[in-house]
Structure 1
Amino acid sequence: MPVEFRHHDSLRLFAEIARYRSFSDAAEALNMTKGAVSYQVKTLEMDLGFSLFQRSARGVELTPGGLKLLAACQSHYEEIEGEILALKGLSTRTLTVGVSTYFAARWLSPRLMSFMQEHPDIQLRLQPMIRLIDLEAQGVDLAIRWGSGQWGDGDVTPFLPCPAFPAGNAAALETVERLGWEQAVSTFTLLRDHDDSDAWTDWLTVAGLPHQTRRDTLIIPDPNVRVQAVVNGQGVALMDALVEQELEEGKLFRLSPDSLQDYGYFLVRPRKVASRDSVTAFSNWLQGQQAGLS
């Protein structure tokens, strides 16, 4: 039996593991045992003659050979999906957008209907992402990413300026008003989105405050969880205008007038992903939606 048919299921399994970055999570999603997943991967690796995954602190990462195979698999499955849609008389223009659930819920989702009405021929798929990394490996055509725009893993286009400022609950505000920021900051746990984030360092520089080597930091990658953690008094975090409702309700308070003016949301297209008219259409539509954050 030809290898492409014999290993069709194994390749689909491989693609799922690459998506979850975990043998256990992929096994649960596919209703398989972890042992069965590991066996199929080993069998596939033996037939291919090269390894597909290597273990890391965060789970498993793709090897260079695994990255190339994933790109080939995604192209193959997208082609099949396109043919099925064509047979059904539906659109073959698909677009996968990587975005955090925080941005999707607070800004993007309420506006999406207008894009769908303007472009009924584009099949849009939102892929929830916490850390917008390895975009190519995750099959993302375009990502919406928060930060300063200083990334080297794709073509970056400024999209939505959204200055970042420190926010906390009522107790944090009282501490700042009582001690002043220079003393208060040493009493706070600083919440960050990932361990190599420079956002707090950037803000301290803008605010003219001394940098400190700190151990009292808490990494919370999910922005939604980070907002709730600040509301609950677990620390302070850099936030933006998308927490307007919490500010109006008195759940959160802006703790300083200083902000990171160059921070906001950027569009990032993986360099190895071919330019597509659907990406251009969505990018242009997003640019036209910039006015207002309501």
Structure 2
Amino acid sequence: PRLTRFFEANPGISLRIEPINSVSMLKSVHVDMAVLWGIGGWEGHKCELLLSLPAVPTANRAVADQVTQLGLAEAVKQLPLLGDSSGDAGWRAWHAAAGLPYAPSRSSLTIPDSNSRVQAVVDGQGIALWDDLVAPEFDDETLVRLSDIRVENAGYFVIFTDRPMSQGAEAFLNWLRAENDRSERRA
């Protein structure tokens, strides 16, 4: 919803937004940069943390009830853990933060697209790591936080390609940084 402010501040600049779910996709599309959720460590790519948003395990109410019955330590072994574009990196980081061995069920599922992954959690397909991006779903209790243990170093990173950035992309990146600063001042 904030993109209107970008265009008002930058008349004459056109943007093309591509859905990119992984750093490997940067080789197959012509973009100046990507914004990806993760914990960093995109080998061979320069990246910058744009927005820090610690992530916690989440589920719908029915799966949350199963977690309560099993206990969280057992639930993350038995129930499907839904991975993101980083595969299991986020889940490995969460298990380390929780002091638990990483030993998920074989029915784990990776869903790189965030919209599809949140819908899978809403539909009860498993447990996923989420942050305040899904605050409306937390607020209306469509999704439930299963633990206060967070992946602290999670967030949204700008991943740079090896191509020079266009003036429009530089303007957009500066605008993203300013929007983030504005949001942090309000928090």
TM-score scaled by length of structure 2: 0.89
Question: How much has 1:170 moved relative to structure 2?
Answer: 1.1
Partner letter of residue 146 of structure 2?
L
Partner letter of residue 140 of structure 1?
V
Aligned 1:60-71 pairs, distance under 5 A: none
In the alignment of these two chains, the number of paired residues is 184
* Maintained 8 Å contact 2:85/2:113: no
More moved, 151-160 vs 129-138: 129-138
1:270 to 135, 138, 161: 161
More moved, 160-169 vs 178-187: 178-187
Give the 3 Å change call, closer, same or farther, for CA 217–195 of structure 1 in structure 2.
Answer: farther
Say whether residues 1:260 and 2:146 are aligned partners.
no
Question: What is residue 224 of structure 1 aligned with on the other side?
Answer: 115
Partner letter of residue 80 of structure 2?
T
Secondary structure in structure 2 of the residue aligned to 1:126: coil
Question: How much has 1:186 moved relative to structure 2?
Answer: 2.2
Give the 3 Å change call, closer, same or farther, for CA 195–214 of structure 1 in structure 2.
Answer: farther
2:7 to 102, 116, 119: 116
* Maintained 8 Å contact 1:153/1:270: no
Question: How much has 1:176 moved relative to structure 2?
Answer: 2.8
Which consecutive residues of structure 1, in runs of 5 or more, have no partner in the other structure? 1-109
* Maintained 8 Å contact 1:166/1:237: yes
* Maintained 8 Å contact 1:164/1:238: yes
**Cα RMSD after superposing both structures:** 2.1
Larger Rg: 1
More helix by percentage:
1
TM-score scaled by length of structure 1: 0.58
Q: Which string of whole-angstrom CA distances, capped at 9 and with x for unpartnered residues, describes residues 63-100 of structure 1?
A: xxxxxxxxxxxxxxxxxxxxxxxxxxxxxxxxxxxxxx
Question: What is residue 52 of structure 2 aligned with on the other side?
Answer: 161
Which consecutive residues of structure 2, in runs of 5 or more, have no partner in the other structure? none
Question: What is residue 287 of structure 1 aligned with on the other side?
Answer: 177
Name which structure has the greater RCO, CA cutoff 8 Å, separation 6+: 2
